[in-house]
Amino acid sequence: MEKNDCVDMQVIGMERKDESFLNGYKAQLFDLVNEEFNEEDDNASQCLFSWMKAVRDTLQAETVLFYQRMENSYHLTEAISTGNHPVSVFPDVLEAIFKDSSEVCVKGADSHSDFASFDYAFMMDDQHGSCGILLASGIVSHDILTLSKDVLEKFSAASCNYLKKMNLFLQIIEDEHRYRELFKVNEAFHSSMDINILLGQIISTLTRVFPDYHFHLLLSNDNDKNHGNLPIKDFDYDRANTAAMEAFVNGTIETDHHYSEQKLTLYAPLKGKQGVYGVLEVVTGLPFKFPENQREFVRLLAYTAGNALENAKLYQQSRRLISDLQLINETSHRLNSNLRMAETLTFLKKQIKRSFQASSIGFVFIDKRGEYKVLTESSSFFRGIEGTTCINYVKRKIFTDKEAIFIGDLSGKFGKELSYLSLMAVPMIQNGSIIGFCIVLHKEPYSFSFDMYKLLQSFIHHSTLALTNSMLREKLEELVITDHLTQLYSRNYLDEEMARAINQDEQGALLLLDIDNFKKINDTYGHQIGDEVLIQVAKVLKEESKEAGFAARWGGEELAVYLPHIDLKSGIAIGSRIVEQIPKGTKPSVTVSCGVSSWKSGQEDHVKDLVKRADASMYYAKNNGKNQVANILN
Each residue's pLDDT tens digit, 200-229? 777 787 777 778 788 888 887 655 556 667
CA 173 to chain centre: 41
Q: Which of 443, 474, 505 is a domain's end point?
A: 474
Position 481 in a domain? no
- Using 50, 70 and 90 to split pLDDT, how confident is the model at 580? very high
Could you report the per-residue pLDDT of 446-461, keeping only the tens digit for each?
888 888 888 888 888 8
435 and 562 in a single domain? The answer is: no
Element (H, E) at 88: none
Q: Which residues are catalytic?
A: 557
Position 181 in a domain? no
Q: E-assigned strands of 15-168?
A: 63-70, 73-81, 104-106, 120-126, 129-137
Position 239 in a domain? yes
Average pLDDT, the chain: 81
Inform me whether the pLDDT recorded for 341 exceeds 80. no
Residues of the chain above pLDDT 90, percent: 20
For 451, the domain range is 336-474
503 and 583 in a single domain? The answer is: yes
More confident residue, 571 or 317: 571
74 and 132 in a single domain? The answer is: yes
211 and 168 in a single domain? The answer is: no
- Using 50, 70 and 90 to split pLDDT, how confident is the model at 287? low
What CATH number has the domain bearing residue 350? 3.30.450.40
Position 485 in a domain? no
> Is 200 within 8 Å of 230 (Cβ atoms)?
yes
Domain count along the chain: 4
Inform me whether the pLDDT recorded for 3 exceeds 70. no
Element (H, E) at 361: strand 360-366
22 and 136 in a single domain? The answer is: yes
pLDDT at 579: 94
Residues of the chain above pLDDT 70, percent: 80
Could you report the per-residue pLDDT of 364-418, keeping only the tens digit for each?
988 888 888 898 889 999 988 888 989 999 999 998 888 999 998 888 777 667 7
Position 483 in a domain? no
Inform me whether the pLDDT recorded for 7 exceeds 50. no
Position 110 in a domain? yes
| Cis ω for the linkage preceding 588 (within 30 of 0) | yes
Q: Which of 211, 209, 199 is nearest to 270 (CA)?
A: 199
CA angle 14–18–21, rounded 5-degree value: 140
125 and 156 in a single domain? The answer is: yes
Whole-angstrom distance, CA of residue 134 vs CA of residue 294: 27
Q: Which of 315, 348, 373 is a domain's end point?
A: 315
> Is 489 within 8 Å of 552 (Cβ atoms)?
yes
Q: Which residues contact 125 (CB under 8 A, 6 or more apart)?
A: 103, 131, 160
Whole-angstrom distance, CA of residue 385 vs CA of residue 363: 16
448 and 585 in a single domain? The answer is: no
Could you report the per-residue pLDDT of 134-166, keeping only the tens digit for each?
888 888 888 888 888 888 888 988 888 888 888
pTM above 0.75, yes or no: no
Inform me whether the pLDDT recorded for 555 exceeds 90. no
pLDDT at 513: 94
Inform me whether the pLDDT recorded for 38 exceeds 50. no
260 and 343 in a single domain? The answer is: no
Position 486 in a domain? no
196 and 168 in a single domain? The answer is: no
Whole-angstrom distance, CA of residue 235 vs CA of residue 256: 17
11 and 150 in a single domain? The answer is: yes
Asked which of 145-154, 308-317, 347-356, 537-546 is least confident by mean pLDDT, the reply is 308-317
Torsion angle of the four alpha carbons 384, 385, 390, 393, in this order, in degrees rounded to the nearest 10:
140
Whole-angstrom distance, CA of residue 616 vs CA of residue 596: 9
Inform me whether the pLDDT recorded for 533 exceeds 90. yes
364 and 265 in a single domain? The answer is: no
Inform me whether the pLDDT recorded for 261 exceeds 70. no
Q: Which of 203, 236, 207 is nearest to 217 (CA)?
A: 203
Q: Which of 96, 101, 146 is nearest to 120 (CA)?
A: 146
